[in-house]
């Protein structure tokens, strides 16, 4: 690990209320220097509010924020946003429509004299590849060009931390991927510490060094993309990061028993307690030979990239969903054998929702049926 | 690249104070608006019991009755004219409709005292109209035949309504345009006939808009001093004015003014209530405009004639009269030196006041934006309160404040410098500027706020995170981006300052005449034709905001 592991940004027990509603509760977070941190969550989870608190355009009701070792928010302490050296890229980019691209870039450089300012604008425009746009006005730029201009404007004053609020969501699908890749490249080149807000788990997985998954104003889980995807801390985290098949199970003797098999898990639970199993679609595969768990194909949907298949397994009332990247020769209605890849199965010591119980027809309550179907 | 050198503690606390300066400034401005009201209360409490019982017995009952009749009459008439004309140009299509849509706003350019002034002369028993009628009917002298005297309550109600109905027309038409379409179509599909649509759908829908417009028109009525005076209506405003000016009884005037304040509060409550309802209902579908029924032939002619009636009576006749009279005067005598002085006075005073009013409006609006919170919101609300205050009432409060200040300045100057400053604030026109500020601040904050609301919040935040303080952000982002709104605010305030009569009459420096006070003086003397220039000038300048309004109305209306 490099020596400079002091976090660029340190948030401690931040809370924010709007009226009687708690938008953020007890948020503590260390943002690593020179890395990209993603605040991920559904709309309304508080991630954008957290970003605004860091920027200083809103004030928390409690907690402290340190930036580069200096306290900027705390009791009796509030550094105005203009003194924080924090860059911000807004969802709508917020380019000033009455200023040319060059003047937009120069907006944050008022401390410099005219010549320095001009050379800094030229330099940043060159590095981000928008030199040809300098004399244009924001309304004449395409979405991608606006995004790059916003990036250049935010980076021009060399901020300590760059905040981005859904910076790619205004771009259409094809453009988004490209702009995202370019932006990442630039951020890595500059060694910028960035905090990015997104509601898109794919984006977070693709972009982040560190993902902070938020839920209802609290942090659900913090970790690397692999941590979050492969070792979700809760069924919420598992389902948020990607589709899951949910199954109810019973914890016995160090593993969990479900209608379709027994899975090892490191839970500390009394024997006989209910638990929840999340199985990623890609953990399932089928074979025509009848090996594995006996199942039947309910439907197939071809999406080009893969086939989405629903299969029914006795005694589950809800079908299981799976993807196949190979062509499936079996037809709807065929009997198949189901195989499981244990790495993509997650077990949580969470109370099983009622609807999950009903999908088992109530039989799970006795626990008898389970052993019968497990081969 | 680190913040380590940024001095913390002291600087950030200092900055907090700097940002708070906006709130302090907003509160000071709000305080300036509130102060006259408090002074009025204090002034009213100084009056003796005997005085109050005299007023209650002899002055108030009559004045209140007269005012109530006036308000009821004007309220009813503006609602009828405003709503019907709005419905006419929305629900029907006929040749001339487009023209009528903006022409119906024209009477807004004619202040109440000018319409009264024009008709007084026009309908004078020896004037042109009665002369023509006598000639047609074959009478020789006014003794044989004359029309009922315009100088009556009925005359006042008619004339005031003719120039105040656009207050109802404007919001009601907007309401019909923005949302009647789908609702009318639905109700037709549900079996409502064309004839029933108006009273079963459109009217209930427009009720909040009508109430808003009506309350504004009634505030103008309450504020009016010229028309009531010329037409012999002894309203509360006149009672305040005479109690003050002819009897030098300030506490008495203040007590009558309090009665007016009660009426104002009722009107403001009506307006607030209606606006809430209006906001509630405009959240419905919008965008599609109404498909009007096409009229042809005699029906079209009738519709056009009906629609033109308020325009002709409320604008064309008085304006043409003024133009003809002004031309006659010009041919006979050229421009008088007095007119030039008065025009210059009016222009300078209005320009200076406008600059101050718009600047204060910017401060208050930006304060509420840069430092959102209960305090800045309250300041914004208080600052927008003055529009409802009749000029006479406001002038009374301001006089109390300013005269006290003047005496204090004078005493201090005599103690320290040995010179008497006299009534420096009143003498320099500061008091009058203050009155304009308190009365018209609502117009500028409203307009500036509307301009600011079109600027996304992210612009503020972008500027702040790029190192600009709140003041710089205002200067470099908000002001350049809301230039249009600023200009509109300036225009509206300027024209209102120019037309203002009731406060000007009471607070102007000695021997200082504006165009409006000149008209009042000439009309009081009965020498109407002498002020034709001044009145024409006011009407012409008054057309500017009407043009602006008409353009805004057209922009909001998609073809």
CB contact under 8 A, A52 and B461: yes
Q: Is the CB of residue A120 less than 8 Å away from at least one CB of chain B?
A: no
pLDDT beyond 70 at A361: no
Contact state of A79 with B15 under an 8 Å Cβ cutoff: yes
- For testing the chain A interface, which of B9, B467, B480, B486 should be mutated: the one with the most A CBs within 10 Å? B467
Q: Which residues of A touch B454 (CB under 8 A)?
A: none
For residues A241 and A205, what is the distance between their CA atoms, to the nearest angstrom? 9
What's the mean pLDDT when you consider all of chain B?
A: 84
Residue A352 confidence (pLDDT): 67
Cis link prior to A315 (omega < 30° from 0)? Answer: yes
User: Looking at the complex, does the CB of residue A160 fall below 8 Å from at least one CB of chain B?
Assistant: yes
Lowest mean pLDDT among A222-226, A305-309, B496-500: A305-309
Which residues in chain A are contacts of B466 at CB distance < 8 A? 82, 87, 107-108, 153-154, 157
Q: Length of chain A, please? A: 375
Cβ separation A107–B463 shorter than 8 A: yes
pLDDT tens, residue by residue, A154-198: 999 999 999 999 999 888 888 888 889 999 999 999 899 999 999
Q: CA angle, B534 as apex, B533 and B537 as ends, to 5°?
A: 85
Rounded CA separation B239/B251 (Å): 13
Q: Report the pLDDT value the prediction gives residue A373, as an integer from 0 to 100.
A: 31
More confident residue, A347 or A365: A347
How many whole angstroms separate alpha carbon A319 and alpha carbon A313? 7
User: Is residue A86 within 8 angstroms of chain B, CB to CB?
Assistant: yes
Contact at CB, B464 and A52, closer than 8 angstroms: no
Instruction: Mark yes or no for CB contact A160/B460 under 8 Å.
Output: no
Min Cα distance B467 → chain A (Å) is: 4
How many CB atoms lie under 10 A from the CB of residue B258?
18
Among candidates B8, B9, B464 on the partner chain, residue whose Cβ is nearest the Cβ of A81: B464
A296 min Cα distance to partner chain B (Å) = 50
d(CA B217, CA B165): 7
Sign of the dihedral through C-alpha B124, B125, B131, B136:
positive
Query: Which one of A71, A85, A90 has the shortest CB-CB distance to B462?
Result: A90
- Residue A4 confidence (pLDDT) above 80: no
Please work out, in degrees rounded to the nearest 5, the angle formed at the alpha carbon of residue A220 by the alpha carbons of A218 and A226. 145
- Per-residue pLDDT, A194: 95
Report the residue of A80, A149, A191 to disrupt the B interface, i.e. the one with the largest count of B CBs within 10 Å: A80
Q: Which of A70, A84, A107 sits opposite B4 (nearest CB)?
A: A70
Search chain B and give the residue with CA nearest A192: B1
d(CA A83, CA B19) in angstroms, rounded, equals 13
Cα dihedral angle (A281, A287, A293, A295), rounded to 10 degrees?
A: 80
Using one digit for the tens of pLDDT, what is the confidence trace for A274-305?
888 888 888 888 888 767 788 888 888 888 88
Question: Does A64 have pLDDT greater than 80?
Answer: yes
CB-neighbour burial class of residue B243 (10 A; exposed 0-12, middle 13-18, buried 19+): buried
pLDDT of residue B6: 38
- Specify the pLDDT at position B245: 83
Contact residues, chain B, for A57 at CB < 8 Å: 460-461, 464-465
Average pLDDT for residues A308-331, to the nearest whole number?
A: 83
For domain B25-285+297-556, give the fold: MetI-like fold (1.10.3720)
Domain boundaries, chain B: 25-285+297-556
How confident is the model at residue B3, as a pLDDT? 36
> For residue A173, what pLDDT is reported?
82
Q: Is B466 helix (H, G, I), strand (E, B) or coil?
A: coil
Q: Which residues of A touch B16 (CB under 8 A)?
A: 78, 80
Neighbours of B144 (CB within 10 A): 10
Question: What domains can you pick out in chain A, each with its CATH number?
Answer: 9-235 (3.40.50.300), 243-373 (2.40.50.140)
Spans of chain B below 70 pLDDT? 1-19, 47-50, 179-182, 277-290, 552-559
As a residue count, chain B comes to 559
- B→A interface, C-beta within 8 Å: 1-4, 6, 8-9, 11-13, 15-16, 18-19, 456, 458-469, 476-477, 480-481
In chain A, whose CA is at the least distance from the CA of B18? Answer: A80
End-to-end CA distance of chain A: give it in Å, rounded: 47
Query: Where residue A228 falls among pLDDT bands split at 50, 70, 90?
Result: very high
Contact B386, B394 (CB under 8 A): yes
Closest residue to B8, CB basis, from A56, A70, A90? A70
Q: Quick one: three-class SS letters along chain A?
A: CCCCCCCCEEEEEEEEEECCEEEEEEEEEEECCCCEEEEECCCCCCHHHHHHHHHCCCCCCEEEEEECCEEEEECCEECCHHHCCEEEECCCCCCCCCCCHHHHHHCCCCCCCHHHHHHHHHHHHHHHCCHHHCCCCHHHCCHHHHHHHHHHHHHCCCCCEEEEECCCCCCCHHHHHHHHHHHHHHHHHHCCEEEEEECCHHHHHHHCCEEEEEECCEEEEEECHHHHHHCCCCHHHHHHHCCCEEEEEEEECCEEEECCEEEECCCCCCCCCEEEEEECHHHEEEECCCCCEEEEEEEEEECCCCEEEEEECCCCCCCEEEEECCCCCCCCCCEEEEEECHHHEEEECCCCCHHHHHHCCCHHHCCHHHHHHCC
Closest C-alpha among B393, B318, B351 to residue B495: B351
Residues of chain B with Cβ-Cβ distance to A86 below 8 Å are 465
**Across the interface, which of A79, A90, A154 has its CB nearest the CB of B12?**
A79
A79 close to B (CB below 8 A)? yes
Quote the pLDDT of residue A117. Answer: 93
pLDDT for residue A375 is more than 60:
no
- Dihedral sign computed on CA atoms, order B518, B519, B520, B521: positive
Chain A CB contacts of B4 under 8 Å are 68-70
Tally the C-alpha atoms within 13 A of residue A239's C-alpha that lie toward its C-beta.
12
Element (H, E) at B307: helix B297-311
Determine the 3-state secondary structure of B151 from DSSP: coil
What does the DSSP 8-state code read for residue B293? Answer: E
Which candidate in A82, A107, A147, A191 is best for mutational testing of the B interface (most B CBs within 10 A)?
A82
Residue (of B18, B82, B46, B76) closest to B307 by Cα position? B82
């Amino acid at each position: 690990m490099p020596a400079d592991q002091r976090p660029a940004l340190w948030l401690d027990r931040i809370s924010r209320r709007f009226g009687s509603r708690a938008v953020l509760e007890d948020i503590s977070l260390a943002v690593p220097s020179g890395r990209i941190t993603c605040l991920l969550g559904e709309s309304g989870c508080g991630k954008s509010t957290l970003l605004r608190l860091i920027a200083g355009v809103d004030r928390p009701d409690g907690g402290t924020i340190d930036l580069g070792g200096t306290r900027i928010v705390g009791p009796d302490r509030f550094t105005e946003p203009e003194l924080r050296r924090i860059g911000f890229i807004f969802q709508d980019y917020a380019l000033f429509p009455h200023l040319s691209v060059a003047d937009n870039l120069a907006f944050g450089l008022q401390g410099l004299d005219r010549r320095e300012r001009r050379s800094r604008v030229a330099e940043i425009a060159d590095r981000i590849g928008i030199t040809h746009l300098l004399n244009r006005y924001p309304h004449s730029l395409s979405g991608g060009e606006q995004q790059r201009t916003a990036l250049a404007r935010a980076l021009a004053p060399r901020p300590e931390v760059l905040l981005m609020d859904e910076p790619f969501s205004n771009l259409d699908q094809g453009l988004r991927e490209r702009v995202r890749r370019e932006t990442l490249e630039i951020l890595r080149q500059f060694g910028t510490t960035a905090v990015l807000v997104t509601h898109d788990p794919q984006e977070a997985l693709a972009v982040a060094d560190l993902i902070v998954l938020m839920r209802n104003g609290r942090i659900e889980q913090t970790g690397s993309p692999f941590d979050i995807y492969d070792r979700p801390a809760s069924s919420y985290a598992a389902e948020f990061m990607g589709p899951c098949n949910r199954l109810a199970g019973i914890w016995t003797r160090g593993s969990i028993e479900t209608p379709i098999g027994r899975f090892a898990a490191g839970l500390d639970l009394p024997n006989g307690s209910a638990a929840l199993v999340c199985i990623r679609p890609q953990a399932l595969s089928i074979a025509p030979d009848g090996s594995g768990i006996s199942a039947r194909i309910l439907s197939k949907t071809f999406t080009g990239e893969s086939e989405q298949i629903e299969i029914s397994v006795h005694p589950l009332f809800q079908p299981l969903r799976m993807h196949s990247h190979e062509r499936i020769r079996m037809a709807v209605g065929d009997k198949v054998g189901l195989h499981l890849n244990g790495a993509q199965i997650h077990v949580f010591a969470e109370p099983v929702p009622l609807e999950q119980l009903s999908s088992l027809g109530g039989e799970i309550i006795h626990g008898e049926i389970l052993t019968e179907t497990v081969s | 690249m680190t913040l380590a050198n940024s001095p913390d503690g002291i600087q950030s606390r200092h900055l907090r104070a700097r940002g708070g300066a906006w709130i302090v400034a907003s509160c000071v401005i709000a305080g300036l608006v509130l102060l006259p009201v408090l002074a009025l209360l204090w002034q009213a409490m100084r009056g003796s019991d005997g005085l109050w019982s005299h007023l209650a017995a002899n002055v108030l009952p009559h004045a209140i009755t007269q005012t109530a009749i006036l308000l009821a009459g004007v309220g009813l008439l503006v609602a009828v004219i405003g709503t019907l004309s709005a419905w006419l140009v929305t629900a029907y299509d006929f040749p001339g409709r487009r023209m009528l849509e903006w022409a119906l706003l024209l009477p807004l350019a004619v202040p109440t005292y000018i319409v009264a002034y024009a008709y007084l002369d026009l309908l004078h028993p020896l004037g042109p109209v009665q002369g023509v009628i006598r000639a047609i009917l074959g009478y020789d002298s006014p003794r044989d035949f004359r029309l009922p005297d315009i100088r009556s309550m009925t005359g006042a109600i008619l004339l005031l309504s003719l120039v105040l109905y656009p207050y109802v027309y404007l919001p009601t038409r907007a309401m019909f345009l923005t949302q009647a379409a789908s609702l009318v179509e639905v109700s037709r599909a549900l079996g409502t006939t064309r004839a029933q649509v108006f009273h079963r759908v459109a009217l209930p829908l427009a009720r909040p808009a009508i109430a808003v417009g009506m309350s504004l028109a009634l505030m103008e009525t309450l504020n009016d001093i010229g028309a009531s005076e010329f037409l012999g209506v002894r309203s509360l405003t006149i009672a305040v004015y005479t109690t003050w000016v002819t009897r030098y009884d300030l506490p008495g005037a203040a007590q009558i003014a309090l009665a007016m304040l009660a009426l104002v509060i009722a009107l403001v409550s009506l307006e607030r209530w209606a606006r809430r309802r209006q906001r509630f209902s405009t959240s419905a579908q919008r965008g599609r405009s109404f498909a009007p029924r096409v009229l042809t032939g005699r029906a079209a002619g009738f519709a056009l004639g009906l629609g033109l009636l308020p325009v002709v009576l409320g604008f064309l006749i008085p304006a043409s009269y003024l133009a003809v009279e002004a031309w006659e005067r010009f041919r006979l005598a050229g421009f008088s030196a007095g007119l030039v002085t008065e025009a210059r006075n009016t222009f300078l005073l209005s320009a200076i006041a406008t600059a101050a009013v718009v600047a204060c409006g910017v401060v208050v609006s930006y304060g509420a934006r840069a430092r959102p919170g209960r305090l800045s919101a309250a300041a914004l609300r208080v600052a927008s309160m003055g529009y409802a205050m009749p000029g006479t009432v406001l002038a009374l409060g301001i006089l109390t404040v300013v005269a006290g200040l003047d005496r204090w300045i004078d005493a201090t100057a005599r103690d320290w410098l040995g010179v008497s400053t006299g009534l420096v604030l009143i003498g320099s026109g500061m008091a009058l500027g203050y009155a304009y500020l308190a009365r018209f601040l609502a117009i500028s904050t409203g307009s500036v706020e509307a301009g600011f609301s079109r600027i996304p919040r992210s612009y503020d935040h972008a500027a702040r995170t790029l190192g600009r303080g709140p003041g710089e952000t205002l200067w470099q982002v908000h002001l350049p981006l809301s230039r249009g709104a600023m200009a509109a605010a300036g225009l509206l305030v300027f024209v209102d300052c120019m037309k203002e009569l009731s406060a000007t009459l009471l607070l102007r420096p000695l021997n200082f005449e504006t165009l409006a006070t000149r008209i009042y003086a000439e009309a009081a003397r009965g020498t109407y034709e002498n002020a034709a220039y001044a009145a024409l000038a006011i009407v012409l300048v008054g057309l500017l905001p009407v043009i602006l309004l008409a353009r805004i109305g057209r922009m909001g209306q998609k073809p």
